[in-house]
């Protein structure tokens, strides 16, 4: 971690402090793995979103040349430190301070776009700023869970669409302007009125696994998983969609789990249906997930499995 809560850096504190990570140096093995997946060739231009320390930027400058790399960092302090570090390493590259979700049109089009922060959907600006035939590589967190997120690699077509797949698991901090606030407040007030109560057909603890969590975000994009310890030491699980005022609450009943659902959307019905379809399909891994991006939609699917297909439309 190199920054907490959008301002605190290590040089300002003498001992460990709590806080929300807002910038970090990505593990080198992750950076190199992503750069390999990016498939760059001599002469390519690249746009990076999330400069952070500048480490991944430096590797790209080394490979492509400093003039072929543009990097955007939203946090002015982080950007200034990265710029100085890159200069010290001998790279006078294009470091831009701003919201990377807008890309950087002045130097577009790029052959490669790579994000080292997670986005809920691939911004259309990135597609517009990528050369047809070029690649966008980014972590997608359709519901912005901290896990259950995938590394998307798509090729841009000249009709303004992009297509590819999720190539593996990937976890990055959320792009700031899209970040979702963690759920706060009185859980018992949120779950006071249930419309139905039944036995869960699938254990909700399955959502603690990566691929089921990814699928749950596709089936119920606004939902968050919340765990709460009870007074007697047992855990209670919840799925909440705060915007849609809906919840599912789970309690262990000895032989399985009872679910109470309330609000306009039966969240667990949607997620459970998806998890059953996934189990029936022999539990494919995240890299079976295909993705097509248009200016107004993201469609995710697994080939040959109509029950595992979602079209998320803008608005
Ligand atoms: C995990 S760090 C990047 C690490 C970097 N690749 C490295 O090697 O050190 C993610 C960075 O993305 C930045 N970020 C978050 N949202 C952003 C946005 N909308 N535009 C540009 N940068 C953003 C954060 O400030 C943070 O510095």
Determine which residue's CA is closest to atom 13 belonging to ligand 1.
50
24 is catalytic: yes
Beta-carbon contacts of 30 under 8 Å, excluding residues fewer than 6 positions away, are 170
Contact 276, 267 (CB under 8 A): no
Residues in the chain: 315
Ligand 1: does its nearest atom lie under 6 Å from the Cβ of 31?
Answer: yes
Q: Is the pTM of this model over 0.85?
A: yes
CATH class, domain 3-178, is alpha beta
From 27, 28, 34, 51, mutation site for ligand 1 pocket: most ligand atoms within 8 A of C-beta: 51
**pLDDT tens, position by position, 109-133:** 999 999 999 999 999 999 999 999 9
Beta strand ranges found along 11-161 (DSSP E): 21-23, 46-49, 69-73, 94-97, 110-119, 130-140, 150-156
Closest ligand 1 atom number to CA of residue 177 = 19
Determine which residue's CA is closest to atom 17 belonging to ligand 1.
175
Ligand 1: does its nearest atom lie under 6 Å from the Cβ of 48?
Answer: no
Region of residue 282 (left: phi > 0; alpha: psi -120 to 50; beta: else)? left
Report the separation in Å between the CA atom of 50 and the middle of ligand 1, taken as the mean of its atom positions.
3
Topology of domain 187-280, per CATH?
A: Double Stranded RNA Binding Domain (3.30.160)
Distance (Å, whole) CA 138 – CA 140: 6
Tell me which residue of 169, 118, 167 sits closest to 148, measured CA to CA: 169
What are the domain boundaries of the chain? Answer: 3-178, 187-280
**What pLDDT is recorded for position 129?**
98
Relative to beta strand 257-262, strand 196-199 is: antiparallel
CA max distance for the chain: 63
Relative to beta strand 162-169, strand 289-294 is: antiparallel
**pLDDT tens, position by position, 131-171:** 999 999 999 999 888 889 999 999 999 999 999 999 999 99
Contact 154, 135 (CB under 8 A): yes
Report the separation in Å between the CA atom of 127 and the middle of ligand 1, taken as the mean of its atom positions.
19
Q: What is each CA distance from 225 to 71, 125, 141, 255, 274, in whole angstroms?
A: 33, 30, 14, 22, 16
- Burial (Cβ within 10 Å: 0-12, 13-18, ≥19) of residue 294: middle
Tell me which residue of 171, 113, 173, 147 sits closest to 293, measured CA to CA: 113
Ligand 1: does its nearest atom lie under 6 Å from the Cβ of 101?
Answer: yes
**pLDDT tens, position by position, 206-254:** 999 999 999 999 999 989 999 888 777 777 899 999 889 999 999 988 8
Report the separation in Å between the CA atom of 53 and the middle of ligand 1, taken as the mean of its atom positions.
9
Is the Cα torsion angle 168, 172, 177, 180 positive or negative in sign? positive
**What pLDDT is recorded for position 104?**
98
**What pLDDT is recorded for position 184?**
74
Ligand 1: does its nearest atom lie under 6 Å from the Cβ of 23?
Answer: yes
The count of other CB atoms within 10 Å of the CB of residue 116 is 26
- Burial (Cβ within 10 Å: 0-12, 13-18, ≥19) of residue 161: middle
Is the model's pLDDT at 90 over the cut of 90? Answer: yes
Tell me which residue of 92, 77, 222, 85 sits closest to 145, measured CA to CA: 222
Out of 24, 171, 287, 297, the active site residue is 24
**What pLDDT is recorded for position 300?**
98
Domain pair 3-178 / 187-280, same fold: no
Report the separation in Å between the CA atom of 256 and the middle of ligand 1, taken as the mean of its atom positions.
42
DSSP-derived letter for residue 25 is P
Distance (Å, whole) CA 3 – CA 21: 6
Report the separation in Å between the CA atom of 214 and the middle of ligand 1, taken as the mean of its atom positions.
22
Beta-carbon contacts of 157 under 8 Å, excluding residues fewer than 6 positions away, are 132, 163
Ligand 1: does its nearest atom lie under 6 Å from the Cβ of 117?
Answer: yes
């Amino acid at each position: 971690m190199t920054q907490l809560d959008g301002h605190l850096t290590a040089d300002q504190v003498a001992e460990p402090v709590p806080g929300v990570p807002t910038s970090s140096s990505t593990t080198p093995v992750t950076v190199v793995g992503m750069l390999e997946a990016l498939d760059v060739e001599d002469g390519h231009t690249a746009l990076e979103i999330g400069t952070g320390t500048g480490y991944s930027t430096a590797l790209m400058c080394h490979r492509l040349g400093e003039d072929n790399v543009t990097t955007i960092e939203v946090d002015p302090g982080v950007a200034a430190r990265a710029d100085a570090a890159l200069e010290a390493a001998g790279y006078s590259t294009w470091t831009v301070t701003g919201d990377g979700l807008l890309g950087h049109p002045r130097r577009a089009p790029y052959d490669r776009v790579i994000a080292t922060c997670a986005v809920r959907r691939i911004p259309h600006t990135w597609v517009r700023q990528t050369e047809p035939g070029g690649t966008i590589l980014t972590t997608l967190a359709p519901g912005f869970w901290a896990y259950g997120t995938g590394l998307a690699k798509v090729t841009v077509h000249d009709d303004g669409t992009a297509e590819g797949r999720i190539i593996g698991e990937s976890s990055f901090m959320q792009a700031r302007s899209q970040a979702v606030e963690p759920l706060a407040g009185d859980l018992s007030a949120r779950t006071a009125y249930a419309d139905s109560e039944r036995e869960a057909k699938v254990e909700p603890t399955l959502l603690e696994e990566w691929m089921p969590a990814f699928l749950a975000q596709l089936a119920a994009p606004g939902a968050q998983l919340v765990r709460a310890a009870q007074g007697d030491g047992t855990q209670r699980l919840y799925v909440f969609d705060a915007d849609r005022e809906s919840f599912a609450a789970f309690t262990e009943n000895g032989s399985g789990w009872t679910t109470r659902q309330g609000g306009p959307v039966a969240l667990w019905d949607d997620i459970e249906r998806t998890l059953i379809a996934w189990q029936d399909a022999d539990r494919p891994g995240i890299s079976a997930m295909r993705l097509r991006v248009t200016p107004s939609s993201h469609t995710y699917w697994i080939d040959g499995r109509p029950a595992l297909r979602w079209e998320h439309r803008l608005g």
